[in-house]
Structure 1
């Protein structure tokens, strides 16, 4: 199958980059993580799988991410949720399987709650619901909070590269979209893959999401030696197996 690409223009004029593969059945839609993009290892592995399996697949970059337009520092959970909904509306026919990684797991839950009839199932990798409020904000020192109050931005250190900007608007907006401790009113198949050695999303945080989801068809898989990215060959194999399992579930 040939992958096509393009840009989806949002009402404010900003353009979102996307790539799509045609196929049969529900469309698998990739929702990446915070500061990641659709060219990452897992997103590309799913493109390869979709092309060989004849499954429809869409991946895209949020506002301020990857090939999409916009200033990352101006992004919010509200904005990125709207990006996901726009992609579902304009690029996906019928039902979708949302595959959300880290922040994409949170956005997948928010998207599914907004349009449940369009969502076949969820496959979440190290999901990070409420991460701005429950995982990120607690890291801040008094000096960080003072800088945020004065300048409206905190430059957060990263193990993956240079420090990056966290705006006061992102933190305040994220708190408005909090879904834990639940209940999370989703009634569709959900599969969660979580690394036991994840330094960014504690496995108990992801388990709290699994327990908060209203539906009964929820399976939580703890990969004891897995990190946050879960991009090793064996992790990719588990991810594809989880997608194939939910695709076999009637909706």
Structure 2
């Protein structure tokens, strides 16, 4: 594993990233909540980009992976700023955003903020507005802990470190919600979603598709697929979907 390069943003994050130079349209991978850029989906897309001679960027948000800052200080709005800095300063020309879980939320927000640059979007178990679901699922005691202490630690099924849910994350998530009304994007969107995902109900992909105002929207339901969608067959599907969009653009 090679050492990353770093991008110093105007808002203070030192973003770790790997960039593959090549032709357009480029691809930017946006990871999930408490994930990093070393996951199998990001690496599979990077390998595809190298084979195709296509530009590609993967990166870590603040408090994730090798980037600066503490995870608990992060919010959707801050991580969106990280993503926009990457798009603005590390890419040129048309881009395809590929967002995994929380990254799907940030990809939707980034696509709306950079309409002239983002020409397609792929969501993998996309989880827009997930902070709203989590708040509703909390007990009264857990909500009180967040309101009085500012944070709540929740065990994770995906690693030894617990999830950190802060009051700032919930409040900022409300301000940045996107799947509560029409999503005015008129670009190709592909939503890949497992039907056995324990974290993001498959109906979420349908609701996103229903809210998108563009006509070129497809939902790919994976029977028995989990949240990670990182099996060999899942990675091949992802590479195929992204590759087809790139050829069409």
- Please give the TM-score of this superposition, normalised by the length of structure 2: 0.96
**What CA distance in whole angstroms lies between the structure 2 residues aligned with 1:157 and 1:199?**
14
**What CA distance in whole angstroms lies between the structure 2 residues aligned with 1:83 and 1:12?**
8
Match of 1:151 among 145, 149, 152: 149
2:224 is the counterpart of 1:225: yes
Q: Which residue of 2 aligns with 1:15?
A: 14
Q: Which residue of 1 aligns with 2:173?
A: 174
Q: How does 1:47-66 map to 2 (within 5 A)?
A: 47-66=46-65
Q: How does 1:16-35 map to 2 (within 5 A)?
A: 16-35=15-34
Match of 1:138 among 133, 136, 139: 136
Q: Which residue of 1 aligns with 2:200?
A: 201
**What CA distance in whole angstroms lies between the structure 1 residues aligned with 2:223 and 2:148?**
41
8 Å CA contact 1:181, 1:208 repeated in 2: no
**What CA distance in whole angstroms lies between the structure 2 residues aligned with 1:191 and 1:4?**
32
**What CA distance in whole angstroms lies between the structure 1 residues aligned with 2:21 and 2:162?**
38
Q: Secondary structure at the match of 1:158?
A: coil
8 Å CA contact 2:74, 2:169 repeated in 1: yes
Q: Which residue of 2 aligns with 1:215?
A: 214
8 Å CA contact 2:125, 2:205 repeated in 1: yes
8 Å CA contact 2:27, 2:55 repeated in 1: yes
- Displacement, 1:13? 3.4
Mind listing any 5+ residue stretches in structure 1 that lack a counterpart?
none
Q: Secondary structure at the match of 2:24?
A: coil
8 Å CA contact 2:103, 2:126 repeated in 1: yes
- Displacement, 1:4? 8.3
Q: How does 1:107-122 map to 2 (within 5 A)?
A: 107-122=106-121
Q: Secondary structure at the match of 2:23?
A: coil
**What CA distance in whole angstroms lies between the structure 2 residues aligned with 1:98 and 1:51?**
17
8 Å CA contact 1:158, 1:164 repeated in 2: yes
* Structure 1 outlier segments of 4+, above 3 Å: none
- Please give the TM-score of this superposition, normalised by the length of structure 1: 0.95
8 Å CA contact 1:20, 1:57 repeated in 2: yes
- Displacement, 1:44? 0.9
**What CA distance in whole angstroms lies between the structure 2 residues aligned with 1:27 and 1:18?**
15
8 Å CA contact 2:193, 2:202 repeated in 1: yes
Matched residue count: 247
- Displacement, 1:166? 0.8
- Displacement, 1:52? 1.5
**What CA distance in whole angstroms lies between the structure 1 residues aligned with 2:117 and 2:163?**
35
Q: Which residue of 2 aligns with 1:97?
A: 96
Q: Secondary structure at the match of 1:110?
A: helix
